[in-house]
């Protein structure tokens, strides 16, 4: 099954792209939960972080560094949140690992 993220990466469906390199793509979330809400998605299909292999470690690190760079570009120096959902109880809705980057307001804890 091809996920919505694979279709975005393959340019089969449109998305507002914020960043792209050989490893990942970042898009604006279509249902933002904060004034700024982006997704950072690896081009390699990794179903979820709980199923990542040791060989995926460089990709996972790249996703976090990319999130930091985008946060700084977006003026989120006062703070931001990075979220990775894993499994249905963790809030995962698309079976393709992705990092949520949220900011632009004070984020409370616990998140939900």
- Domain holding 29: CATH number? 3.30.428.10
Which pLDDT does position 38 carry in this prediction?
Answer: 98
DSSP string, 38-80: EEEEESS----GGG--GGGHHHHHHHHHHHHHHHHHTT-TT-E
In a domain, 110, yes or no: no
In a domain, 109, yes or no: no
The residue written with tokens 């996703």 in the block is 63
- Confidence class of residue 112 from pLDDT cuts 50, 70 and 90? low
pTM, two decimals, is 0.94
The pLDDT tens digits of the residues spanning 71-98 come to 999 999 999 999 999 999 999 999 999 9
Identify whether 90 is part of a domain: yes
Return the pLDDT at 110.
87
Share of the chain above pLDDT 90, in %: 96
The answer on pLDDT for 111 being more than 90 is no
**Would you place residue 1 in the very low, low, confident or very high pLDDT band (cuts 50, 70, 90)?**
confident
Is residue 12 domain-resident? Answer: yes
> Does residue 98 have an active-site annotation?
yes
What is the average pLDDT score of the chain? 96
The answer as to whether 112 is a domain residue is no
Catalytic residue among 37, 62, 96, 98: 98
What is the mean pLDDT of the segment spanning 28-39?
A: 97
Asked if residue 63 belongs to a domain, the reply is yes
**What is the residue range of 44's domain?**
4-103
Asked if 111 and 75 touch (Cβ cutoff 8 Å), the reply is no
The vertex-29 CA angle with 62 and 66, nearest 5°, equals 15
Query: How many folded domains does the chain comprise?
Result: 1
Residue 108 in any domain: the answer is no
Is the confidence at residue 104, as pLDDT, over 90? Answer: yes
The answer to whether residue 37 scores a pLDDT higher than 90 is yes
């Amino acid at each position: 099954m091809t996920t919505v993220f694979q279709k975005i990466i393959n340019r089969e469906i449109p998305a507002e792209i914020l960043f792209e390199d050989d490893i990942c793509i970042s898009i604006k979330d279509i249902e933002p939960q904060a004034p700024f809400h982006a997704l950072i998605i690896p081009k390699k299909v990794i179903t979820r972080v709980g199923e990542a292999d040791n060989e995926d470690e460089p990709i996972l690190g790249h996703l976090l560094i990319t999130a930091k760079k985008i946060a700084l570009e977006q003026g989120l120096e006062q703070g931001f949140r990075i979220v990775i959902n894993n499994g249905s109880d963790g809030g995962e809705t698309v079976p393709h690992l992705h990092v949520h980057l949220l900011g632009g307001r004070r984020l409370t804890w616990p998140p939900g």
